[in-house]
Structures are given as C-alpha cells and as structure tokens.
C-alpha cells in the first residue's frame, strides 16, 4: 500500500510541461519542483541550447577586445 502511494496518478516520476516554444517536454518531477522554487524557466532542450548559445555569444562580445584578438 505504501509503495503504491509513492507513485501518483500515472505512476510516473515524470511530468509534462509546455515550453514557451510550444513543445511538450517530459521533465522529472524533482527537478521540476526545484526549478520552480528557484523561479527558473522550465524549457525544452532546444530552447535551452538556444539560450546557452545566446549567453555564450554575449560573453564573447563582452570579453572580446578587437585590438588584442588572439585569432589574428
């Protein structure tokens, strides 16, 4: 009985969320609730990669000094 109570409705540790891009993402409930507590956006892998890519671009812009470029 106790074992059964650990698993609610669909007997899954995963829950479905809608990403802002419209994709439905399976996310495990633990990390979902952690992210909600931290007020982090829950997003799909695609959006996550895009966001990280944008952040890396911003970092590049921020730290690149054209006069001292190591790529020249």
Which residues of this chain interact with Zn ion, rule CB under 5 A? 19, 21, 23, 44, 47
Q: How far is the CB of 49 from Zn ion (least distance, A)?
A: 10
- Of 21 and 56, CB closest to Zn ion: 21
CA distance linking residue 9 with residue 4, whole number of Å: 10
47 burial level (CB within 10 Å; 0-12, 13-18, 19+): middle
> What's the closest the beta carbon of residue 2 comes to Zn ion, in angstroms?
37
Nearer to Zn ion, 8 or 55 (CB): 55
């Amino acid at each position: 009985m106790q074992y059964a109570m650990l698993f609610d409705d669909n007997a899954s540790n995963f829950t479905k969320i809608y990403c802002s891009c419209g994709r439905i993402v399976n996310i495990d409930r633990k990390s979902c609730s952690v992210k909600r507590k931290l007020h982090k956006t829950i997003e799909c892998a695609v959006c996550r990669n895009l966001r990280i890519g944008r952040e890396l671009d911003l970092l590049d812009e921020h730290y690149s000094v054209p006069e001292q470029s190591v790529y020249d």
